[in-house]
Amino acid sequence: MAPYRYIPLSLNRDRTRLLRLMPHPDRTADIQCELFEYALETQGGTHLYDALSYVWGDPNSKPSIFIHGSRFEVTKNLYTALLQLRNHSIERILWVDAICINQDDLSEKEHQIQFMAAIYGQANRTLVWLGEAANNSDLIFQEIRNIHGKMSTATIDKLSLQKAGLALLHRPWFRRIWVRYLIFCSSCG
């Protein structure tokens, strides 16, 4: 099967690509997607797409997804994120940098980087993929749900919760410069 070939973006406008993640009831089925060009509105507001924030992961592990029926390699971490984000019955519209930007076209990459703040800012929401559950990280999210629901948390061992929290904060996503920048900017006030 032939690899996916990008259609060049209109570089003279505020354009990007969005990814349509096709639904499938079988979690193990191939990931099928479509890409389409999208006009960003410079006036602001939110749009009906979600932006994905994640760590690319190991560049040597490259499973394939399918875009318009053509093979497209992604990192294992992104592949796993897409599996988790894929709905069983409805399509999902996403902006994912490794797919929506032609990484082999330096001119396009430079142009798209200028719009990153607008892309994330105009998204309906930003989804953060921290990776698959590990080191009891589920405990942290269970605790957050308990606090939000004002449920008793007496059943969770506090030391285990602390260890799980530290393990979660040591994940690669929290070491990204972009994340550190956002944390710094939000603390500046």
Query: What are the angstrom distances between the C-alpha of 168 and each of 48, 82, 136, 145, 182?
Result: 29, 20, 9, 16, 18
The model's pTM: 0.78
Task: Give the mean pLDDT of 108-123.
Answer: 89
pLDDT of 184 strictly over 80? no
pLDDT given at position 81? 96
Task: Give the mean pLDDT of 64-90.
Answer: 97
Give the residue, 184 or 132, on which the prediction is more confident. 132
Chain-wide mean pLDDT for the chain? 83
CB atoms inside a 10 Å sphere around CB 129: 18
pLDDT of 62 strictly over 50? yes
pLDDT given at position 146? 72
The number of residues making up the chain comes to 189
pLDDT band at 108 (very low <50, low <70, confident <90, very high): very high
Strands, sheet with 92-95, edge to edge from the N-terminal-most edge strand: 70-73, 64-67, 32-39, 15-21, 92-95, 50-53, 125-128
pLDDT in tens, 152-174: 555 567 777 777 766 666 666 66
* 128-46-57 Cα angle (round to 5): 20
Helical pair 137-148 and 158-169, crossing angle rounded to 10 deg: 110
